[in-house]
């Protein structure tokens, strides 16, 4: 049977006594408290942040989008390493504040904010990225009831998207943001109401690996923001350029040339138009900061043969790794990076399917993968599990519950 390629294992992982090691501990040691579990490498996150800081212009702030991974030790670490946290719900607001983030460094985006969420955000003093004129009016009404001066920005639905992105967030008809041509009137309404005007949030797409596409989107974002500021008739205090920086998940993926992105952004920052000269500029990243630093460990509980194919059945599955199973927006199912963690330095000797414990054919972690022969008790490692794993998977599906998480 022909093997289907696995995605590339991120650099930075070690082998110890023949096993995968994370943070100086073997997979067996990390799994000793029970499987399935997520292990996140503190040193890899810190190294990613340092590398990003080294190539980004000094005036660019780096925000962490906590939807990527909201594990509390991760949030505490990111609140120290980053310049701000971006949230998308009232629950995430509570998490960010509990992690020690200052309210002035938190921004709240996302459609469908309830009045309770608006009031909580206004009371805390975070920046609301308004998604519609209706939401703006509700926010103003909430602020009046509270007797507070809200910090308001507008999320813009631009007339372009991030070319080649895995998930498009702008361009065309979208539930996200206010169509660009309607932004100036809404901004003037906010300013006239006496609110603290916090500028614009423009997010065109996510999971892009093409540096030139990212550069083009950032350039278009700066051009659009400058034009809107002129139409508003007031300098722009802040601009969130969004993110979209991707990581390699699949065979053939080439890592984003972040140095090229930083170089181009530095050139733009050196020649900003007057409308943006005093603006606080930020990029908003999630998976790029933490995705490659996480590993999902699950134990093989059964090895079976069926009509000529081998199945390694684990105690984990799509309820923790929805994306790796191919059920999180992927059109064609491809294999994530995966390995037999307890035989990390062994050569591949067989082709096997790795499946989870759920009673559905969708629960497949690897399809026809070339792997060392594995037995019951061996550990499987799914890589690129630091983002949109635990935070984006149906943990309660079939009653199996959440996986353990640890920062090591």
Full set of structural domains in the chain with CATH: 14-40+293-407 (2.40.37.10), 70-285 (3.20.20.10)
Peptide linkage before 36 cis (omega within 30 of 0): yes
Average model confidence (pLDDT) for the chain? 94
**Residue 363 — very low, low, confident or very high, per pLDDT cuts 50/70/90?**
very high
**Residue 175 — very low, low, confident or very high, per pLDDT cuts 50/70/90?**
low
HEC letters along the chain: CCCCCCCCCCCCCEEECCEEEECCEEHHHHHHHCCCEEEECHHHHHHHHHHHHHHCCCCEEEEEEHHHCCCHHHHHHHHHHCCEEEECCHHHHHHHHHCCCCHHHEEECCCCCCHHHHHHHHHHCCEEEECCHHHHHHHHHHHHHHCCCCEEEEEEECCCCCCCCCEECCCCCCCCCEEHHHHHHHHHHHHHCCCEEEEEEECCEECECCHHHHHHHHHHHHHHHHHHHHHHCCCCCEEECCCCECCCCCCCCCCCCHHHHHHHHHHHHCCCCHHHCCCEEEEEECHHHHHHHEEEEEEEEEEEEECCEEEEEECCCCCCCCCCCCCCCCCCCCCCCEEEHHHCCCCCCEEEEEECCCCCCCCEEEEEEEECCCCCCCEEEECCCCCCCHHHCCCCHHHCCCCEEEEC
The predicted model gives 33-50 an average pLDDT of 98
Among residues of the chain, what percentage have pLDDT more than 70? 95
| Distance of alpha carbon 222 from alpha carbon 64, whole angstroms | 20
Q: What is the pLDDT of residues 204-239, one digit of tens each?
A: 878 899 999 999 999 999 999 999 999 999 989 999
Measured between alpha carbons, how far is residue 16 from residues 36, 87, 345 in Å?
A: 21, 38, 9
The predicted model gives 152-156 an average pLDDT of 97
Predicted structure pTM score = 0.94
| pLDDT for the residue numbered 380 | 98
The predicted model gives 155-166 an average pLDDT of 72
Is the model's pLDDT at 35 over the cut of 60?
yes
The predicted model gives 108-112 an average pLDDT of 94
The predicted model gives 251-268 an average pLDDT of 97
| pLDDT for the residue numbered 161 | 63
């Amino acid at each position: 049977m022909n093997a289907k390629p696995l995605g590339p294992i991120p650099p930075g992982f070690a082998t110890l006594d023949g096993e995968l090691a994370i943070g100086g501990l073997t997979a067996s040691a990390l799994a000793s408290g029970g499987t399935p579990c997520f292990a996140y490498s503190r040193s890899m996150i810190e190294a990613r942040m340092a590398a990003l800081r080294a190539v980004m212009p000094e005036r660019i702030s780096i925000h962490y989008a906590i939807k990527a991974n909201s594990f509390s030790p991760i949030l505490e670490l990111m609140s120290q390493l980053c310049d701000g946290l971006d949230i998308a719900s009232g629950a995430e607001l509570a998490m960010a504040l509990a992690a020690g983030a200052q309210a002035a460094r938190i921004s709240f985006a996302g459609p469908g904010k309830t009045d309770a969420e608006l009031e909580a955000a206004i009371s805390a003093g975070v920046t609301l990225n308004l998604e519609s004129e209706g939401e703006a009016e509700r926010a103003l009404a909430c602020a009046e009831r509270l007797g507070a001066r809200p910090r308001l920005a507008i999320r813009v639905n631009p007339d372009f998207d991030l070319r080649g992105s895995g998930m498009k967030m702008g361009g065309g008809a979208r539930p996200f943001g206010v169509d660009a041509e309607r932004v100036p009137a809404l901004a003037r309404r906010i300013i006239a109401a006496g609110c603290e005007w916090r500028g614009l949030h423009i997010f065109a797409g996510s999971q892009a690996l093409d540096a030139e596409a990212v550069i083009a989107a950032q350039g278009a974002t700066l051009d659009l923001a400058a034009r809107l500021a002129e139409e508003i008739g007031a300098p722009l205090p802040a601009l969130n350029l969004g993110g979209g920086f991707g990581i390699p998940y699949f065979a053939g993926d080439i890592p984003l040339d972040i140095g090229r992105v930083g170089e181009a952004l530095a050139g733009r920052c050196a020649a900003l138009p007057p409308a943006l000269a005093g603006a606080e500029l930020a990029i908003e990243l999630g998976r790029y900061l933490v995705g490659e630093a996480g590993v999902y460990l699950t134990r093989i509980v059964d090895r079976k043969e069926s009509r000529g194919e081998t199945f390694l059945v684990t105690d984990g599955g799509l309820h923790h790794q929805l994306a790796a199973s191919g059920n999180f927006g992927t059109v064609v199912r491809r294999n994530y990076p995966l390995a037999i963690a307890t035989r990390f330095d062994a050569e591949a000797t067989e082709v096997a399917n790795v499946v989870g414990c759920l009673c559905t054919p969708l629960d497949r972690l690897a399809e026809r993968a070339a792997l060392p022969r594995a037995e019951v008790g061996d550990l499987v490692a799914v890589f690129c599990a630091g983002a949109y794993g635990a935070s984006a998977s149906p943990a309660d599906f079939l009653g199996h519950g959440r996986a353990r998480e640890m920062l090591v």
